[in-house]
Chain A
């Protein structure tokens, strides 16, 4: 399955039980954005995700066991590094993120020469007042507090563009996960992070990675990491 490296941008699409969404998402990418390469990371799905990919002849990295979002992204970044892509974009497999914004993100990265561009929901839009956004605000405050006042409007956005240096770090370091705590750490390490306004859709089918108890654990893990571990890792 050696592929010729036509382009330098790879869309990394983690998919856990996304059989109902995947065709819509990938066909959209394949038909409307043929300039980007993509790879679906099947994170040990128990539904027909693998079959959907095989039937449609999608480019898939098929993980045999479920390793979670972080592990799936890590696999995708290793793929990007292996086939020497210059940029990797993390995009959800549920169709929340529209690839039409990737061009804005790439432009911003090339213009500002930054390391990460976040596809952000709240650069010039207000956050809605939901439970999830309260958590989002708490994390944003923690990042702001520990990075000498660096403002990131959407720390939990799952749509991010990474340059080559970041691809290597996220692919090969145990402590790097595509989560807000790594953003705070990277800012303190001198990495430049930019944000571009995007719209996100609600998911139309399938289940999210996050439920209530895992959200509590997520908050705890993230805050511990930003407030304490950041200074020792």
Chain B
């Protein structure tokens, strides 16, 4: 890994941290949901400072270019995040269904009680 690539990783990570913390301050994201992104950025910084980690894992799996392994790790983590988000969206959709059903039910109950 070239020194430029490592510098790029560090710069981008710092930007991510700055951006996430700003969004917390602006009440745009819950604190527990931003833990993933901070750990993500910390991981990239770790890799940039100690590229030996990448060389070691690369050797283990026969990946010649360390940069490719970095991309692979980033893609894997991003896919993982997409899946967890997908799960959360499913749950939210289900909750919206329950909420609208309950709202309708309770409105009917109220109007019936009013008529009596």
Contact = CB atoms under 8 A, between A and B. Distances in A.
Interface in B67-107: 95, 98-99, 101-103
Contact of A229 (B24, B27, B98, B101): B24
A129 interface: no
A35 B114 CA distance: 31
Interface stretch (B3-11, B28-36, B51-59): B28-36
A233 B101 CA distance: 36
Interface residues of B, number: 16
Contacts of A225: 31-32
B21 interface: yes
B24 A232 contact: yes
Interface in A185-233: 220-221, 224-225, 228-229, 232-233
A221 B34 CA distance: 10
B16 interface: no
A225 B27 CA distance: 14
Contact of A221 (B25, B32, B98): B32
Contacts, number: 38
A127 B35 CA distance: 30
A175 B27 contact: yes
B31 A229 contact: yes
Interface in A77-106: none
Interface in A3-36: none
A207 B108 CA distance: 34
Interface residues of A, number: 14
Contact of B24 (A181, A220, A233): A233
Contact of B31 (A64, A65, A175): A175
A228 B25 CA distance: 12
Contacts of B38: 224, 228
A174 interface: yes
A225 B38 CA distance: 12
Nearest to B32: A221
A124 interface: no
B31 A221 contact: yes
6 contacts: A175-B27, A221-B32, A224-B35, A224-B38, A229-B31, A233-B24
Given A221-B32, A225-B32, 9 more contacts: A64-B99, A175-B24, A181-B31, A220-B35, A224-B35, A229-B34, A232-B24, A233-B24, A233-B31
